[in-house]
Amino acid sequence: MALLPIFFGALRSVRCARGKNASDMPETITSRDAARFPIIASCTLLGLYLFFKIFSQEYINLLLSMYFFVLGILALSHTISPFMNKFFPANFPNRQYQLLFTQGSGENKEEIINYEFDAKDLVCLGLSSIVGVWYLLRKHWIANNLFGLAFSLNGVELLHLNNVSTGCILLGGLFIYDVFWVFGTNVMVTVAKSFEAPIKLVFPQDLLEKGLEADNFAMLGLGDIVIPGIFIALLLRFDISLKKNTHTYFYTSFAAYIFGLGLTIFIMHIFKHAQPALLYLVPACIGFPVLVALAKGEVTEMFSYEESNPKDPAAVTEGSKEGTEASASKGLEKKEK
């Protein structure tokens, strides 16, 4: 289950990076964001831990369930939309819609939400709502995993690192974060077990005994999927930028993830203690591709690869300027001919 959102999320991130639809624009993580992320994550984790200690767990989980019910439906709808499009007949009345929410007026008008969708998306939203109601009423582990997989795939697809150095900062910071909160305290494990929300993938260890009603779960946090996943997706886009028709770095990092996760599970069974997955995933996912780059003599190319933020006005202006210059050059060439 952990491999699926990384593989397909990485493939969809390529299309997302090239897309022009405002509703599918990726969110670019800079080195500054990456440096702050472990601190913000630590504060959030500690805050949740204190909440569970002070307030009733039942009421907190009720609020969180409603929150993730809405988010889960939207995420699952976005995930299944490309797949469901293949099943719609050619004569399906696919009307276009746009949800636009602004503030201010005239020249001071500012867009808050600008989301474009169609009738097919509404059908997907309806199907996702069925899963949402199932999750809300039963909290079944399959419904939890469907939402968890949707969150993970959307995270890998829509969260983009701007370069490899930023990826190393993010993974390095969360490596320390994960090790400290799992080995140094009981905070991470306590929150994970108390938090009734689809922020983790679970699988029943007593499935053969109790069937689908099993209740003894092994769990993997979505952060252990999304964080390495966005780095692997970056390497896929780097592969494509090299224009060599090979995906060497993508497959290398993907294999490294499999190795790191397998090692995590092995160590967990040996020591019978919860393991911080990033302790094994981070060295593998960074180390393997860097070794391949050293062997191929492409370390400089790897660390100099840069992705611009499509939401950054400066990047848009620069892109427009380049387009204008290119158009002007073509015009001059025609004139000379």
Summarised one tens digit per residue, pLDDT across range 15-28 is: 887 765 555 678 89
Do residues 115 and 189 lie in contact, with contact meaning Cβ atoms separated by under 8 Å?
A: no
Q: What is the pLDDT at residue 217?
A: 86
Q: Of 24, 118, 206, 224, which is the active-site residue?
A: 224
pLDDT class for 176, splitting at 50, 70, 90?
very high
Summarised one tens digit per residue, pLDDT across range 99-131 is: 888 888 878 888 888 888 888 889 999 999 999
* Sheet strands (E) in 145-300: 159-161, 200-204, 217-221
Q: What is the pLDDT at residue 311?
A: 55
* Kind and range of the H or E run holding 201: strand 200-204
- CA atoms of 86 and 121, how far apart (whole Å): 13
* Sheet strands (E) in 67-187: 96-103, 110-118, 159-161
Residue-range domain boundaries for the chain: 2-85+95-102+110-304
Q: Of 178, 215, 239, 312, which is the active-site residue?
A: 178
Q: How far is CA 79 from CA 83, 154, 188, in A?
A: 8, 7, 28
Give yes or no for residue 219 having a pLDDT over 90.
no
Residues 6+ apart with CB under 8 A from 186: none
Find how far residue 316's CA is from the centre of its chain. 24
Give yes or no for residue 138 having a pLDDT over 60.
yes
| pTM of structure | 0.84
Q: What is the pLDDT at residue 211?
A: 80
Concerning whether 224 is annotated as a catalytic residue, the answer is yes
Concerning whether 118 is annotated as a catalytic residue, the answer is no
